[in-house]
Amino acid sequence: MAREEVNFTKASLEQLEAPEPGKRRYVYDSKESGLLVQVTGNGRKTFQLYKKHMGKPVRVTIGTFPELTVEQARKKAKAIKVELINGENPNDKLKQQRQEMTFADLFHVYLERHAKPRKKTWQEDETYFKRHLSALGKKRLSTITKGDVAAIHSRIGKDKPTHANRVLALISSIIGRGIEYGLYEGQNPCAGIRRFPEQSRDRFLTADELQRFFLALEQEPNGTARDFFLVALLTGARRANVLSMRWSDIDLKGQTWRIPETKNGTPQTVPLVGPLLEILQELRKSTSSFFVFPGRGKTGHLVEPKKAWKRICQSAGIEGVRIHDLRRTMGSWQAKTGASLPVIGKSLNHKSASTTTIYARLDLDPVRTAMEKAAEAMLEAGGNGKK
């Protein structure tokens, strides 16, 4: 059967009829040797280059028509011919790319080998990946460009610059671990991407806001969430530690809560001040769970009370306050009632090379006193103080 050949133009290719279902039709370009269009039974048209390489026939797929124009196809065909002359087979590169790890593959390695063993916040990495990097996850590592990463960083940064910086740091860390583990030999595409400026937060609940906050708390229908926010405020502890608070770590008689391990890798003993102790004593009577704040999920405890927090803030008319700011509120009110920075630092378990030795010399008495003063002042400001 004679080879079918035409001068490739947009019009000539549009007029090519499809063969019978299950069969293929091959039409060659009369201008660019080796360039052809494969037409399938459903009418799909694909540009290919058919040439001999090292004595063997090679067929390289270039792209589909009309997504790729005739001129673009001819230009690509010329470039592939140069590669073949230089002894390079484009199909070998494609095969290598198909065998290469995707970003999602590397993320799971990063998660198991690095994040879970070393980071208490590894679940945040998982959340960032699902929310922002699932599309990037489908790409082979060698195909990820600096432009791909910069586009993700820029898109998130329009509304959440700090959030965008965390995602950028995660991408860099994932690929960095891949290079470290010998799973990827390329360059880190995050290099040179400028982070967005970040402002340190100084948000805490003021006296006026505390009054509205406590009133909104009383009206909150979710009792578990309501108690969680009160305990978070009166302990100044990190959210993750309060969420996973266990009765086995609480000494109601000794009025202390022992956190076995905190975010900075050290244990912490938190004094249970008067109002907080009353809350915990009541909670202990009403639950048989291992956790102070039980939940229905896999963890067994409350995981994410964002919906309740949103209701409370809306009811109280408070804007720009996060759950973490309850911790900052305890520290701020300690300062307001005269506590020293070392005492505040120990109560919040801050880790600082310059103050670690001071913290070590402090016992719980001045910390308890500072927290009690702060708690009384906050409750009084909120209208729940002693009359």
Predicted confidence band of residue 357 (pLDDT cuts 50, 70, 90)? very low
DSSP 35: E
DSSP label at residue 160: -
| 19-60: pLDDT as tens digits | 998 899 999 999 999 999 999 999 999 999 988 877 778 888
The 10 Å Cβ neighbour count of residue 102 is 16
The amino acid at 292: V
Confidence of residue 177 (pLDDT cuts 50, 70, 90): very high
Residue 58 forms part of a structural domain: yes
Which is higher by pLDDT, 221 or 362?
221
In a domain, 371, yes or no: yes
Q: Could you read off the pLDDT of 80-93 as tens digits, one per residue?
A: 888 887 777 766 66
Residue 355 has pLDDT above 70, yes or no: no
Question: What is the structure's pLDDT at 258?
Answer: 94
Read off the pLDDT of residues 101-129 as tens digits, 9 standing for 90 and up.
899 999 999 999 999 888 877 888 999 99
Residues 118 and 234 in one domain: no
**CATH (domain of 50):** 3.30.160.390
Q: Summarize pLDDT for 270-289 with one digit per residue, the tens.
A: 999 878 888 899 889 888 88
Specify whether 376 is located in the same domain as 241.
yes
Q: What's the length of the chain?
A: 387
Please say if the pLDDT value at position 354 is more than 50.
Answer: no
Give the residue numbers spanning the domain of 372: 207-381
Residue 72 sits in the same domain as residue 116: no
The answer as to whether 197 is a domain residue is no
Say how far apart CA 245 and CA 225 lie, in whole Å. 13
CB distance 332 to 341 below 8 Å: no
Cβ–Cβ < 8 Å for 45, 16: yes
Do 65 and 22 share a domain, yes or no?
A: yes
Which residue blocks in the chain are alpha helix, DSSP H?
10-14, 70-85, 90-99, 103-110, 116-118, 122-132, 146-157, 161-180, 207-219, 223-235, 239-243, 274-285, 306-316, 325-336, 341-347, 356-361, 364-381
pLDDT at 88: 75
Boundary (domain end) residue, out of 65, 99, 133:
99
Dihedrals phi, psi of 349, to nearest 5 degrees = 60, 45
- The number of domains in the chain is 3
Residue 369, in any domain of the structure: yes
Residue 95: pLDDT band (50, 70, 90) is low
Same domain, 338 and 230: yes
- Among residues 162, 180, 198, which one ends one of the domains? 180
**Mean pLDDT for the chain?**
87
Phi/psi for 52 (5° steps) reads -90, 140
Query: Of the candidates 180, 197, 221, which is a domain's last residue?
Result: 180
Residue 377 inside a domain? The answer is yes
Q: What is the DSSP string of 314-379?
A: HHHT--S--TTHHHHHHHHHHHHTT--HHHHHHHTT---TTTHHHHHH--HHHHHHHHHHHHHHHH
Q: For residue 360, is pLDDT > 70?
A: no
Is residue 130 over pLDDT 80?
Answer: yes
238 and 335 housed in the same domain: yes
For the chain, report the end-to-end CA distance as a whole number of angstroms.
104
295-327 pLDDT per residue, tens: 888 888 988 899 999 999 999 999 889 998 998
pLDDT confidence of residue 98? 53
The answer on 366 and 233 residing in a single domain is yes
Q: Is 120 within 8 Å of 264 (Cβ atoms)?
A: no
Task: Calculate mean pLDDT across residues 233-260.
Answer: 92
- Of 67-71, 222-226, 294-298, 375-379, minimum mean pLDDT range: 294-298
CATH number at residue 310: 1.10.443.10
pLDDT digits (tens, 9 = 90+) for 184-233: 888 999 999 999 987 666 788 888 899 999 999 999 999 889 999 999 99
Higher pLDDT, 339 or 351: 339
The pTM score is 0.57
Cα–Cα distance between 18 and 4 in angstroms, integer? 14
Shared domain for 169 and 59, answered yes or no, is no
The DSSP bridge partners found for residue 301 are 294
Residue with the larger pLDDT of the pair 237 and 199: 237
**248, two tokens:** 């086995």
- The CB density around residue 147, as the number of other CB atoms within 10 Å, is 10
Are 90 and 139 part of one and the same domain?
A: no
pLDDT reported for residue 99: 61
